Chain A
């Protein structure tokens, strides 16, 4: 496994639930990312943080709310999700945005019922 950890690894939630995904990197990187990976679709970049500041939001619905309290931690708060939001959510980090080596966490497999 890499220096990027994610919890939980699996999550099942109802459409009215509120849950949070957590990502932590131990690599001293300054940039962190949330991606969504659905079957038969490319990796979709959701959010980018650089030095704790959000630099990119790729038209993500407001039911997904990111939080980056420091350069090592990244959260994705989920509320009133839809079944089509079921996917693998991957966190990644790199030394800087678009850095040579972007490390991915193991992902959270989310199922929305």
Chain B
């Protein structure tokens, strides 16, 4: 059973702080990892993807991947109230297979 686990939250952080969102997955051989953001009442939108161990930075967002620990995280620096949303972790476990999504973590950035 391919599984992606996330803490549902809510995770509350003050404006300007670093928000850290975590995700674990069940298959060590997994290939690709994605973070989607979903605002309330809207559909998910892709914000980051990462394939290799280590960090990948894009603006205020950093994705971190540790395949040995089967762990992927998303850091949001200088959090803004507009970052308040549900963040979905998704994993492509192998080859040309559909993404498997976690339940999502709800982030609330308090002004």
Contact = CB atoms under 8 A, between A and B. Distances in A.
A2 B101 CA distance: 20
Interface stretch (B39-47, B60-68, B76-84): B39-47
- By secondary structure, the A interface counts as loop
- By secondary structure, the B interface counts as loop
Interface stretch (A12-20, A66-74, A79-87, A97-105): A97-105
Contacts of A98: 32, 92, 95-99
Interface in B84-100: 88, 92, 95-100
A43 B42 contact: no
B108 to A, nearest CB: 16
Interface in A56-113: 56, 90, 96-98, 100-107
Interface size classification for chain A: 20 to 34
Given A96-B96, A107-B43, A42 B32 contact: no
Given A106-B42, A106-B43, A56 B98 contact: yes
Interface size classification for chain B: 20 to 34
Nearest to B101: A43
A96 B4 CA distance: 22
Interface of B: 4, 8, 32, 34, 42-46, 49, 88, 92, 95-104
12 contacts: A40-B103, A42-B101, A43-B88, A45-B98, A96-B96, A98-B32, A98-B92, A98-B96, A98-B98, A102-B46, A104-B45, A107-B43
Interface of A: 2, 33, 40-43, 45, 48, 56, 90, 96-98, 100-107
